[in-house]
Amino acid sequence: MTDANDNLLEVRDLRTYFDTDDGEVRAVDGISFTLKRGETLGIVGESGSGKSVTNLSIIRLIPVPPGRIASGEIVFDGVDLLSLKEEEIRKVRGRRIAMIFQDPMTSLNPFMKISRQIMEITRLHLGHSKTEAYEHAIEMLKTVGIPDARTRVDNYPHEFSGGMRQRVMIAMALSCQPELLIADEPTTALDVTIQAQILELIKTLKQATGTSVILITHDLGVVAGMTDHLVVMYAGKIFEQAPTAELFAQSGNPYTKGLLRSVPDPLKEQDELYQIPGLPPDVAHLPPGCPFAPRCYRAEEICTREFPPFVQLAADHFSLCHFAAEVFADSGEPAAAEQVTAR
Amino acid sequence: MSTTDLQLANEPQISAPLISIRDLKLHFDLGPDVRAGFRKLPSWMQIALFLVSVFLGGLAGMGIVAMLDRRELFITLVLSSVVALVVGSLVFYFLRAVMVRLVVGKAAHSIVKAVDGVSIDIQRGETLGLVGESGCGKSTLGRAILRLNEPTSGTVFYADRDLAHLSQREMRDHRRHLQIVFQDPYASLNPRMTVGQIVREPLETFKLAKGSAAEQRVQQLLETVGLSKRFSKRYPHEFSGGQRQRIGIARALAVDPEFIVADEPISALDVSIQAQIMNLLQRLQRDKNLTYLFISHDLRAIRHVSDRIAVMYLGKLVEVGAANAIYAEPLMPYTKALISAVPVPDPQIELSRRRIVLEGDVPSPINPPAGCRFHTRCPYRIEACEQVVPPLVEIKPAHFVACIRISPDQPNIESIAPGEAPGLAAASAIN
């Protein structure tokens, strides 16, 4: 925060709206965060919380219409990405900011050999010749741990298993040595042992290349060991933002608390699991006050009436809650833990 | 969970299990693989087959030569060789398919051994967690118990009857007591039926209630699973994933079953909703003394809901034991890796943990590896692992492991000298 040059990415008051038949959907509604060079930022949220739309907004892949970025700035290395022309953003996308998606099968072209798909990027962005690009593709496959890379490079995507396909995706994403890697649920479609492989791979590659990473996931276990900072999203807003260790140790938001406690700990035996009652909200029809109020154990009358403030709890720790300070101080159990209902 | 534990503890251990599965197999036959089958033919047959095809092809080519005008040498030559080639290869493919079918028969078939010799008891009132990676056969095992897929061989004893060998009609009567909750709450509910009709259908099928009695029962079931009874006139698409899963549970409960296979019931749901469904299932178990087979790839969830856990790998059970024992002290190398791979929602623990990262992927269940199926990825493999199929051995009390490198006297694989396999003798005796 002290030195502006430390910040690789600054998102300021980003608002991405979609115009639908059902009215305006505020998928992302006024979020701000910064990512320092070499850091890993985790964005956690349930489906519909706006975490993927945030990611797509950063690389300007929001379909317009129906989507539009209503306001905000996305400053990447000193340049506002939202002010760039389409040709200019294309030079950033894939070259300086790369992405990995959840489902590697749908993001690879099934009719093209892996080699051509990786070569396409480096020939476009780095101006490689055919042979240079081919050798580079093999090199990248070796880096991500694909055995027998020289023969595998000429295979088609269907000839790879799910974990191997995700490795290919990572090889593609890193082939231009991007400064920022956005990984959107990179391990959700994979088995546990393969998930461990991929997470270890991202970790080691990040250390080797110094790439900053944004890791988007719904799994609190995954972010615990992978990230430096965390952003918790709900209904298109940031509910809590803190260094990872601090957020897990002392959360200042009822939603985060509930989320943390509703995941069974594999190392401990637990009695009944804490559950957040109710359902995630319909983002098209949000209540006037705090969007989490109907499900919140701490909610009072003011929560349904007024939108909560974004309270600073520590140097780098913010929470969107009327009672943030109290929740933060109360490191004990949420009051409602005892009266768990099935609803 | 605590009440269930108490009940289990109070029950005499000799009480018969609710369901007793013995050597259950379910193989999917993908049909003959002619090319692979051809390689299994004796070599003289292969050569003979080839020669016959060449001979018949040549004969056909000569026939063309004899028929055509000899003066058009070029056309005759081209045409006859084309005909010879086509006829020859057609004869070859035809004869090959016939010979493989006749001589090699079943051995030439590609067979997916989804469930391959599973034996386990499920006790009354317990939750048995079945865990494994995708494609290991855990869902197929659940479906085989209920005969939703027909088992190839083996027995499933329930109420003194072998479910695997009942007629369809007899099986239908038993289905009243054996229900299933499916993974995908979107695909498992008929979109053209209202929630009321969906929950009511099993009542009518089994003639348990009619008219207003059925109506009342439906409303009561909806309330049991935490849905408003007003919902019975609505259609599935009006509900979220978690609510649909509740509808699926209500449908399973309608017939008052004893045993429910929960096939990945929470995998498709959001984190905060997963906790709700797990709690609901546990509450219902307490209230109705249900027995669950809880199938999941989520190792955190399965530990939370299960009393005992069975770990499956490529169609076989590799470790069975109390949930706590398996998590505190996994003995089989695969289970060790699996449990070390689960991300823990605690940064302090995550940073200090040692994670066993397995090499490679799960091999194909078509022609799985010989010997121990895990040997291709096992960091502790020795040569014998490639030949000997490890049986499930009781290494510690009520803790069964399939691994020849450990034995009841030496249960810790890490403290065993390289190359030694104390369980080998026992395994060889069984094989």
For residue range B147-163, what is the model confidence (pLDDT) as tens digits? 999 999 999 999 888 99
Q: Are A180 and A214 in contact (CB under 8 A)?
A: yes
Q: How far is CA A110 from its chain centroid?
A: 26
d(CA A340, CA A334): 11
Burial B362-389 (b: 16+ CB within 10 A, else e): bbebeebeebbbbbbbbebbeebbeebb
Of B183, B305, B174, give the one whose Cα is nearest residue A271: B305
Question: Phi and psi for A15 in degrees, rounded to 5?
Answer: -130, 115
Taking an 8 Å cut-off on Cβ atoms, the answer to whether B243 and A244 are in contact is no
Please give the pLDDT value at position B354. 79
Taking an 8 Å cut-off on Cβ atoms, the answer to whether B343 and A262 are in contact is no
Give the neighbor-by-neighbor strand order of the sheet with B153-158. B109-122, B19-32, B153-158, B161-162
Instruction: Name residues 251-270 of chain A within 8 A of B (Cβ).
Output: 258-260, 262-267, 269-270
CA triple B163-B164-B166, angle to 5 deg: 60
User: Which of B133, B279, B349 is opposite residue A340, by nearest beta carbon?
Assistant: B279
Evaluate if residue B11 carries a pLDDT over 60: no
Q: What is the pLDDT of residues A18-46, one digit of tens each?
A: 888 877 888 898 899 999 988 999 999 88
Instruction: Name residues 25-54 of chain A within 8 A of B (Cβ).
Output: 46-47
Residues in chain B closer than 8 A to A262 (CB atoms): 271-272, 274-275
- Which one of A261-265, B172-176, B343-347, B418-422 scores highest in mean pLDDT? B172-176
Average pLDDT score, chain B? 87
Of B287, B325, B304, B321, give the one whose Cα is nearest residue B3: B287
Taking an 8 Å cut-off on Cβ atoms, the answer to whether A248 and B346 are in contact is yes
Burial of B235 (0-12, 13-18, 19+ CB in 10 A): middle
pTM of the predicted model over 0.95? no
Q: How far is CA B99 from its chain centroid?
A: 33
Please give the pLDDT value at position A339. 38
Indicate left, alpha or beta for B256 from its phi (over 0: left) and psi (-120 to 50: alpha).
left
Report the gap between the CA of B273 and the closest CA in chain A (Å).
7
- B339 shares contact with chain A (CB less than 8 Å): yes
CB pairs under 8 A between A and B: 138
- B262 shares contact with chain A (CB less than 8 Å): no
Indicate left, alpha or beta for A94 from its phi (over 0: left) and psi (-120 to 50: alpha).
left
- Straight-line distance from the first to the last Cα atom of chain B, in angstroms, rounded to the nearest whole number: 39
d(CA B418, CA A61): 54
Please give the pLDDT value at position B7. 43
Query: Any idea which residue has 């959840």 for tokens?
Result: A102
Q: Are B411 and B391 in contact (CB under 8 A)?
A: no
